[in-house]
Amino acid sequence: MTLINRFSLANLRGDLFGGATTAIVSLPLALAFGVASGAGPEAGLYGALLVGLFASLFGGTSTLISEPTGPMTVIMTAVLTTMIAANPESGFAMAFTVVMMAGAFQILFGALKLGKYITLMPYSVISGFMSGIGIILILLQLPPFLGQPAQSGGAMGTLMAFPELIAGINPVAAGLGLATLLVLLFTPKRLSSQLPPQLIALILGTGVAFLWLGSSGLATVGEVSVGLPDFILPTFTPELLTTMVVDALLLGILGCIDTLLTAVIADSLTRTDHDSNRELVGQGIGNMISGFCGGLPGAGATMGTVVNIQSGGRTPLAGLLRVLILGLVIFGAAELTEHIPLAVLAAIAIKVGLDILDWSFLKRAHRTNLPTVLIMYGVMLLTVFIDLMVAVGVGVFVANVLTIERLSQVQSRNVRAISDADDAVPLAEKERRLLEDAAGRILLFHLTGPMIFGVTKAIARQHAEVKDYDVMVVDLSSVSMLDVTVALALENAIVDSTESGCTVFLVADDRDLVDQLASLGLFDVIGPECVLHRRIDALSRARDLLAARAGERVFSLPVRAKAEAASA
């Protein structure tokens, strides 16, 4: 009932226009991605239908349009190539098993409510990764764009074979591909608002090839047998199982990132909020069923989603109507697609690759700081020339290390050890008098804000001179978060203080923080009676202790002077 209740007929007209428009946009892209992946145009069409259908049914974003996307196609191309090369007999089935596993990972991420964490990735890493994906997609489409067969070895294989591709170029195919690309780039906005440029380019390119270039030897899509799909059962081999799991994890995570970033865009356009975890479950179901039916993996598509919203779509009904209209077109006119030149589809895919490139950030990269630029370009180069997973892993690691270093430098300023009034530490008037009366024999160790593990060096520096004091008050009353590493560093400081004869009082008023310190055994060192909730109470106890050691009940003179007078 929850699923049914999400659909409404209140916006039927807008959803109908949104579904129809996005169906028109999806058709050329599905064909282009299917051919580009090596799985065939049918795989692209099945992916557009099945991922879109089940993501609309079970997803958590009302206006999201899900279908095969450029980044997902790039990963799928690599998976398909790797599996077939390793196992020619079962490689095709194993590649689509990876798609099913990726969908299962997405469902798991949603069930574990990890949606809000998926996109917690530095923008420099996302920008470099997406730009690298765009470059790979462009490189993979160069052979059909130039009228040549696809090259083995992926993007690197295409780069290595580039001189041969230029030498054997088919001028007719290259001219048709270039003309298609120019149509995509320079279609007037007034016309593109009425009819998608991809469809215009597809119709014009195919028409020209069919009417005037039929005898020029252009490679075309060929027969497309669209009917009930042949179901693919999960297929594994022990030797490739680890590779399949890693590929599925990468495919699933990329689909999550692609989808949730698009969902954020949809929210900003419609002033709504999506359900990240539910969306991941819907995407996972769609990808599992698409893989089972031999369809490409998909994700939330930015272009389709924006077109849907601009056309009036506001509920998941638009996504269902898109699937219905697209299915009618595919099954009713499948024979027309066999005349589409591969050069035209390659030009459409190249335009997608150009759109994936993060031009906005690339144009402003020189204005940002050097580490951010190096991370972005480093991830981009690793993505193109080394490995997608390595690129993301290295990028996230380096970016997080640099972020932690900067945060540690900032937080180190919030670790202060004072023995008299300091304007940087907010003290009440009575607290100031207590410190001044102690004549430098009380050390106030004040920490504030979130304490992450990077501040442990600052703590070690500040307590290095603790042997010069009789009492240390560790003030954690303003600490919002205490990392375990910092807690252990504090324990070391407290143990060193007690061993040097210094009495330690701890101030902590947060119950969770007190429980955390108790679980580490810190109270076994100082005793629970030395743990207080207010700083004023700890300073008063410290003053009374110094007075008692000096043999006086009232503490009115410096302890050192009293001790010297008593000994005299």
* Side-chain half-sphere CA neighbours of 198 within 13 A: 24
What does the alpha-carbon distance between residue 344 and residue 145 come to, in Å, rounded to a whole number? 7
- DSSP annotation string for 61-117: -TT--EE--HHHHHHHHHHHHHHHHH-TTTHHHHHHHHHHHHHHHHHHHHHTT-HHH
Instruction: Find out whether 131 and 384 touch, Cβ atoms under 8 Å.
Output: no
Q: Is pLDDT larger for residue 452 or for residue 567?
A: 452
pLDDT at 556: 39
Q: Is pLDDT larger for residue 501 or for residue 562?
A: 501
Q: Is pLDDT larger for residue 7 or for residue 124?
A: 124
Instruction: Find out whether 197 and 184 touch, Cβ atoms under 8 Å.
Output: yes
Tell me phi and psi for residue 168, to 5 degrees.
-105, 25
What does the alpha-carbon distance between residue 422 and residue 114 come to, in Å, rounded to a whole number? 44
What does the alpha-carbon distance between residue 557 and residue 314 come to, in Å, rounded to a whole number? 77
CA angle 549, 554, 556 (to 5 degrees): 95
pLDDT at 490: 82
Residue 168 has pLDDT above 80, yes or no: yes
pLDDT at 5: 40
What does the alpha-carbon distance between residue 215 and residue 460 come to, in Å, rounded to a whole number? 80
pLDDT bin (cut points 50, 70, 90) of residue 189 is: confident
pLDDT bin (cut points 50, 70, 90) of residue 420 is: low
Amino acid at 138: I
What contacts 469, CB < 8 A, 6 or more positions away? Answer: 419, 440, 441, 442, 443, 502
pLDDT at 337: 79
pLDDT bin (cut points 50, 70, 90) of residue 215 is: low
Q: What is the pLDDT of residues 383-415, one digit of tens each?
A: 898 887 788 889 989 988 888 888 777 777 767
Give the range among 168-172, 199-203, 355-359, 416-420 with minimum mean pLDDT. 416-420
Instruction: Find out whether 382 and 429 touch, Cβ atoms under 8 Å.
Output: no
What does the alpha-carbon distance between residue 113 and residue 132 come to, in Å, rounded to a whole number? 29
From residue 479, alpha-carbon distances to 311, 422, 424, 451 in Å are: 51, 18, 15, 7
Instruction: Find out whether 306 and 61 touch, Cβ atoms under 8 Å.
Output: no
Residue 565 has pLDDT above 90, yes or no: no
Amino acid at 554: V
Residue 42 has pLDDT above 80, yes or no: yes
Residue 18 has pLDDT above 50, yes or no: yes
What does the alpha-carbon distance between residue 249 and residue 243 come to, in Å, rounded to a whole number? 10
Instruction: Find out whether 224 and 42 touch, Cβ atoms under 8 Å.
Output: yes
Domains observed in the chain:
11-360 (no CATH), 413-567 (3.30.750.24)
Q: What is the pLDDT of residues 496-514, one digit of tens each?
A: 888 878 888 888 888 888 8
Q: What is the pLDDT of residues 65-91, one digit of tens each?
A: 999 998 999 999 999 999 999 999 999
Tell me phi and psi for residue 376, to 5 degrees.
-60, -50
Rg, C-alpha atoms of the chain:
32
Spatial CA neighbour of 76 closest among 108, 36, 110: 36
Spatial CA neighbour of 530 closest among 562, 497, 558, 564: 497
What does the alpha-carbon distance between residue 89 and residue 17 come to, in Å, rounded to a whole number? 45
What is the chain's mean pLDDT, rounded?
84
Q: What is the pLDDT of residues 365-384, one digit of tens each?
A: 778 888 889 999 999 999 89
Give the range among 132-146, 190-204, 358-372, 544-558 with minimum mean pLDDT. 544-558
Q: What is the pLDDT of residues 422-468, one digit of tens each?
A: 556 777 788 888 877 777 788 888 888 888 777 777 777 766 655 67
Spatial CA neighbour of 505 closest among 482, 538, 477, 476: 538
- What are the helix (H) ranges across 386-428? 388-412
pLDDT at 449: 82
Residue 234 has pLDDT above 70, yes or no: yes
What does the alpha-carbon distance between residue 128 and residue 227 come to, in Å, rounded to a whole number? 39
pLDDT at 560: 41
What does the alpha-carbon distance between residue 253 and residue 68 come to, in Å, rounded to a whole number? 15
In this prediction, what percent of the chain has a pLDDT beyond 70?
A: 92
User: What is the H or E stretch that residue 258 is in?
Assistant: helix 241-270
Q: Is pLDDT larger for residue 66 or for residue 307?
A: 66
Spatial CA neighbour of 224 closest among 88, 329, 144, 151: 329
What is the token pair recorded at 398?
């380096």
